């Protein structure tokens, strides 16, 4: 056992972020890796037990982390996003949640062997999915927009609702069993929940007003939001336990729908904080489990309960609640299967285990084992199956990484057509119908609109695309596009054409943190590329083999050619950038903009002669 708390914090952070990196590197579910890492550090090797070692700080740390994570998730709940999906989302988070509560309580009583009191409390708790587990899965699976939005909204909204249902059921049970004969206690709980919503709305409105009127400087906006979130959660939670989750959700949704200009900066800051918190908190929770708890998981009643929740309760709740909605059978199947439980279920179950234990309910001793069994099983089952199932149902955008090209120039059109020939998903975006005409004529997918507009987020599904090339006539606009999309694509996947320091657009001293990576060799601007295309330059695709290596290719390629990119067998693309060192290996395909062939030049000469001859006749 490690005695130093500082060393424990270091190990928890390293394991959490290390798990996230391993999940990204090998395309595995991050939650599964974190759960295994926490179990190895805690009950398996006995290196730490955060719940015991942190003492009174353990629960406040977990609670505040959950509040920030839930607020960050609710910042994405813009009502514009669910246009056309309002009915199924509303049905799932109301009628579906109610059915999940009742069916879950029945399963807990008849299969897990819990008393009716404990069963109804835990049944309400187990309807939660939550942003801590559902959002990482959605990033991993690349679902199509409709099922992804429904799962996201359900996870974030039902998270506080499930915790409140559990508390509400507990208050009713205390009243019915005579532990609390005062009926005003139930009324107080309802009033506290209403107060939590009002408090969250007021905090969101207040912060939004202060930001819009300039009462908070830019450098203080994120710290102010962070502080208000903690205050909002703490005030509501001190009045009535678990209502703080409802309060921060209301605050996040309020801010999201005010459409504040600086909301994106706050959202990106909160995403980074949320990722760190999810990583560390999941390690802390799993490392705090005991070996006895793990052994108890294999009891046949617990196994039976988990299987029933997976294959009966969740699918039945979704199919009944979405009956006569416009969801397809495939969407119902996917949503009915995907329901991983996470941090909220573990933390609230731990709270009720102690409360019921003090009240004399002996069956409450298995609550933590029961909850962890459900959490771990759903995380593993759904984490490893969501990509496979979504592909089988045709609800996944999984495929080779695609490219978005901003700007519909002649060069962009030819490049996009080349990507299509390489089976690479490609889309050309431009605000000009005229420029998009040639792109559509080439049969390339287009998006008409301002790519920096807020509406783009709702009308353009960017899930299939991992690279973005800014190729418009304005260097400053290209830099702005790349800078804007850094959080979505990552700086290494954003490219723009060479900065051409023209009058009125001099970017020689541009800060290096602004814009994307500069494409192609020095001196090749958009004007130069368009000129090359007009003079007959063509995109050629060359296969690199063991016999014809990359060095040999470089020796043979024309000096005036522009090396564009390398397509790997995996589908990944490496672009030739100004300061890059891309090298092709056997089985790679090199794309280059090369001079026209000799035959093409002869044809051009004949055409030119014919034009000159016709001109001479007219003059004569």
**Dihedral of CA 36/39/45/51: which sign?**
positive
At residue 63 the predicted structure's pLDDT band, cuts being 50, 70 and 90, is confident
Task: Please check whether residues 253 and 370 belong to one and the same domain.
Answer: yes
Report the domain count for the chain. Answer: 2
How many other CB atoms sit within 10 Å of the CB of residue 58?
Answer: 18
Q: Is 68 in contact with 75 (CB distance < 8 Å)?
A: no
Residue 124 lies in a domain: yes
Angle formed by the axes of helices 30-39 and 367-392, to 10°? 150
Highest mean pLDDT: which range of 98-107, 522-531, 590-599: 98-107
pLDDT tens for 484-518 read: 888 778 888 899 887 554 444 544 555 455 677 88
- The more confident residue out of 440 and 182 is 440
Find all residues with CB under 8 Å of 246, minimum gap 6, and list them: 160, 161, 164, 193, 196, 197, 200, 236
Task: Please check whether residues 423 and 346 belong to one and the same domain.
Answer: no
- The more confident residue out of 589 and 75 is 589
pLDDT > 70: what percent of the chain?
A: 88
Mean of pLDDT values over 372-386: 89
Task: Please check whether residues 307 and 435 belong to one and the same domain.
Answer: no
Task: Please check whether residues 427 and 386 belong to one and the same domain.
Answer: no
Domain's final residue, options 392, 414, 442: 392
Task: Give the global pTM.
Answer: 0.73
Find all residues with CB under 8 Å of 297, minimum gap 6, and list them: 303, 369, 372, 373, 376
Strand order in the sheet with 538-543: 538-543, 589-594, 562-567, 573-575
Share the mean pLDDT of the chain: 84
Task: Please check whether residues 314 and 436 belong to one and the same domain.
Answer: no
Task: Please check whether residues 214 and 280 belong to one and the same domain.
Answer: yes
Q: Which residue has the tokens 């960017």?
A: 462
Task: Please check whether residues 371 and 459 belong to one and the same domain.
Answer: no
Q: H or E element: which one contains 494?
A: strand 494-496
User: Does position 607 have pLDDT exceeding 60, yes or no?
Assistant: no
Task: Please check whether residues 339 and 445 belong to one and the same domain.
Answer: no
Q: Which residue has the tokens 């709740």?
A: 317
End-to-end CA gap in the chain: 102
pLDDT tens for 211-233 read: 888 888 888 888 899 899 999 99
Find all residues with CB under 8 Å of 257, minimum gap 6, and list them: 77, 78, 79
Residue 312 lies in a domain: yes
pLDDT at 504: 44
Task: Please check whether residues 453 and 571 belong to one and the same domain.
Answer: yes
Residue 295 in tokens? 């052994």
At residue 162 the predicted structure's pLDDT band, cuts being 50, 70 and 90, is confident
Residue 610 lies in a domain: no
User: Does position 81 have pLDDT exceeding 90, yes or no?
Assistant: no
pLDDT > 90: what percent of the chain?
A: 30
Mean of pLDDT values over 564-575: 90
Q: Is 566 in contact with 588 (CB distance < 8 Å)?
A: yes
- The two counts, helices (H) then strands (E), for the chain are 27, 10
Domain harbouring 330, CATH code? 1.20.1530.20
Q: Which domain holds residue 560?
A: 402-604
Task: Please check whether residues 222 and 353 belong to one and the same domain.
Answer: yes
Residue 36 lies in a domain: no
Residue 134 lies in a domain: yes
- The more confident residue out of 402 and 86 is 402
Task: Please check whether residues 352 and 423 belong to one and the same domain.
Answer: no
Task: Please check whether residues 378 and 408 belong to one and the same domain.
Answer: no
Residue 8 lies in a domain: no
CA distance 155 to 128: 7
Residue 21 lies in a domain: no
pLDDT at 14: 94
pLDDT tens for 29-43 read: 777 888 889 999 999
pLDDT tens for 302-358 read: 999 999 999 999 999 999 999 988 899 999 999 999 999 877 787 788 878 888 887
Domain harbouring 576, CATH code? 3.40.50.720
Residue 568 lies in a domain: yes
CA distance 422 to 399: 13
């Amino acid at each position: 056992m490690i005695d130093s708390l500082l060393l424990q914090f270091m190990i928890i952070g390293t394991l959490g972020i290390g798990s996230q990196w391993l999940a990204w590197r090998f395309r595995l579910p991050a939650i599964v890796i974190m759960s295994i890492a926490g179990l190895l550090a805690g009950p398996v090797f006995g290196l730490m037990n955060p719940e015991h070692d942190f003492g009174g700080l353990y629960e406040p740390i977990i609670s505040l982390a959950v509040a920030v994570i839930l607020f960050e998730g609710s910042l994405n709940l813009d009502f514009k996003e669910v246009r056309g999906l309002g009915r199924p989302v509303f049905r799932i988070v109301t009628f579906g949640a109610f059915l999940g509560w009742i069916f879950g309580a029945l399963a807990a009583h008849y299969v897990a062997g819990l008393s009716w009191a404990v069963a109804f409390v835990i049944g309400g708790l187990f309807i939660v999915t939550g942003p801590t587990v559902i959002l990482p899965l959605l990033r991993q699976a690349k679902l199509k927009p409709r099922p992804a939005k429904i799962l996201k909204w359900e996870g974030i909204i039902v998270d506080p609702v499930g915790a409140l249902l559990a508390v509400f059921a507990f208050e009713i049970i205390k009243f019915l069993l005579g532990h609390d004969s005062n009926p005003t206690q139930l009324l107080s709980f309802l009033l506290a929940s209403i107060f939590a919503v009002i408090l969250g709305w007021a905090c969101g409105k207040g912060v939004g007003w202060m930001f819009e009127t300039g009462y908070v400087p830019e450098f203080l906006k994120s710290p102010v939001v962070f502080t208000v979130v903690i205050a909002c959660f703490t005030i509501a939670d001190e009045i009535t336990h678990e209502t703080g989750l409802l309060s921060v959700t209301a605050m996040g949704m309020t801010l999201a729908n005010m459409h504040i200009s600086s909301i994106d900066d706050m959202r990106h800051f909160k995403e980074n904080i949320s990722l760190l918190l999810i990583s560390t908190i999941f390690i802390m929770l799993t490392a705090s489990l005991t070996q006895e708890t793990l052994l108890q998981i294999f009891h046949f009643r617990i196994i039976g309960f988990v299987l029933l929740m997976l294959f009966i309760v969740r699918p039945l709740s979704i199919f009944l609640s979405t009956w006569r909605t416009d969801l397809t059978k495939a969407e119902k199947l996917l949503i009915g299967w995907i329901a991983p439980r996470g941090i909220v279920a573990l933390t609230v179950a731990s709270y009720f285990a102690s409360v019921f234990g003090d009240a004399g309910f002996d069956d409450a001793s298995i609550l933590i084992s029961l909850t962890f069994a459900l959490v771990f099983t759903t995380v593993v089952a759904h984490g490893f199956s969501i990509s496979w199932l979504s592909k089988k149902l045709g609800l996944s955008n999984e495929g080779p990484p695609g490219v978005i090209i901003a700007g519909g120039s002649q060069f962009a059109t030819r490049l996009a057509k080349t990507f299509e020939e390489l089976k690479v998903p490609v889309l050309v975006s431009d605000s000009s119908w005229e420029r998009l005409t040639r792109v559509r004529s080439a049969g390339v997918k287009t998006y008409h609109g301002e790519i920096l507009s807020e509406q783009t987020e709702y009308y353009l599904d960017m899930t299939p695309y991992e690279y973005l090339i800014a190729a418009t006539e304005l260097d400053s606009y290209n830099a702005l596009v790349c800078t804007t999309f850094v959080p979505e694509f990552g700086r290494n996947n954003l490219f723009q054409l060479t900065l051409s320091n023209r009058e009125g657009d001099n970017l020689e001293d541009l800060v290096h943190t602004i814009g994307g990576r500069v494409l192609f060799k020095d001196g090749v601007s958009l004007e130069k590329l368009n000129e090359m295309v007009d003079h007959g330059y063509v995109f050629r695709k060359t296969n690199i083999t063991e016999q014809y290596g990359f060095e040999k290719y470089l020796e043979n390629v024309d000096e005036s050619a522009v090396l564009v990119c390398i397509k790997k067998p995996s589908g990944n693309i490496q672009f030739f950038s100004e300061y890059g060192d891309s090298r092709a290996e056997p089985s790679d395909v090199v794309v280059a903009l090369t001079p026209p062939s000799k035959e093409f030049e002869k044809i051009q000469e004949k055409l030119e002669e014919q034009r000159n001859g016709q001109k001479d006749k007219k003059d004569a």
